[in-house]
Amino acid sequence: MLTRREVFRSAAAGAAALAIPGFTFAQEAKGFTLPKLPYAYDALEPSIDAETMTIHHDKHHQAYVDNLNKALTADAPDLLGKDIVELVQGYKKLPEKVQTAVRNNGGGHLNHTWFWQMMAKPGTAPKLDLLKAIEASFGTLDGFKKDFSAAAVSQFGSGWAWLVVGKDKPLAIVKTANQDNPITDGQAVLLGCDVWEHAYYLKYKNLRAKYLEAWYNVANWDFVADLFAKATKK
C-alpha cells in the first residue's frame, strides 16, 4: 500500500499541483534518489517481463540518477536540492555546463519516475471526463490507441510517445527523442510510453508495435485521470 505522497508541478497546468503517490521528487541537498517501484518486478507479466523491469528500473533508471547527481555535484551543487520537474522544465535556463546532463539524465529520471506510475496490474480503463476527452479528441479509445501507437512506432531511434493536454482539442499526442519531455515545451503530461529498446527488446525483440499492443493492457488510466483532472482544474 503506497502511503507517501509528494506534490509536484506541471508546466502547462498553470502550476497546478499533481499528487504522485509513492515517489519523492524534491530532494535533499545530497542529491536525487531512485524511487521504488509501486509493484513487484513481475507484477506486469505477461505484458512486461520481470527481467526487463528489473534491468530497466535497477540499472537504467539508477544510471540516470547517478549521472545526474555526479554532474550536478561537480558543476552546480546548489541544484541538487531542486525539484526534478522544475529542473527539466527549465533546463535551458540552467548553467551551460549542466544543461545536457539535466536534459538527458534529469529527463531520464523524471520520465521513468512517471512511467512506473503510469502502469498498473491489472490495467484500468478511462472513465467519465477523461473518456469524454478521449472521444472528443480521437473518436474512440481504439482511435487513441491507433494514433498513439503510430506516434510511438514511428519515433526514430530512442524516445517516448506522450498523451498531453491539447490546445485545439482536449488531448493531443506528441513524441520526443531520447529523454526529452513535453513539459520543456509547456505541455502537461498525462501518459507516456518508453520506446527505447531497453524497455521491450528482451521480450519483443524488434517488434515495437507488439510491445505497444501489450502495454495498453497495463496502462494505468486511473492515474492518468487524476493528472487530467488536476491539469485542467480551473
pLDDT of residue 137: 98
pTM, rounded to two decimals: 0.87
- Average model confidence (pLDDT) across the chain: 89
Question: Beta partners for 19?
Answer: 7
CATH classification of 1-22+41-234 is 3.55.40.20, yes or no? yes
Asked whether the predicted pLDDT for residue 14 surpasses 80, the reply is no
- pLDDT tens-digit readout, 130-173: 999 999 999 999 999 999 999 999 999 999 999 999 999 999 99
User: What phi, psi does 46 have (nearest 5°)?
Assistant: -90, 0
- pLDDT tens-digit readout, 22-63: 344 445 457 999 999 999 999 999 999 999 999 999 999 999
pLDDT of residue 11: 34
DSSP string of 6-66, one letter each residue:
EEEEEGGGTSEEEEEET---S-BTTB--PPPPSS-TTTTTTTS-HHHHHHIIIIIIHHHHH
Q: What is the dihedral of CA 212, 111, 155, 152, to 10 degrees?
A: 20
C-alpha span between 160 and 76 (Å, rounded)? 28
* Cβ neighbours of 224 (radius 10 Å): 22
Cis omega (within 30 of 0) for bond into 21: no
% of the chain residues with pLDDT over 90: 85
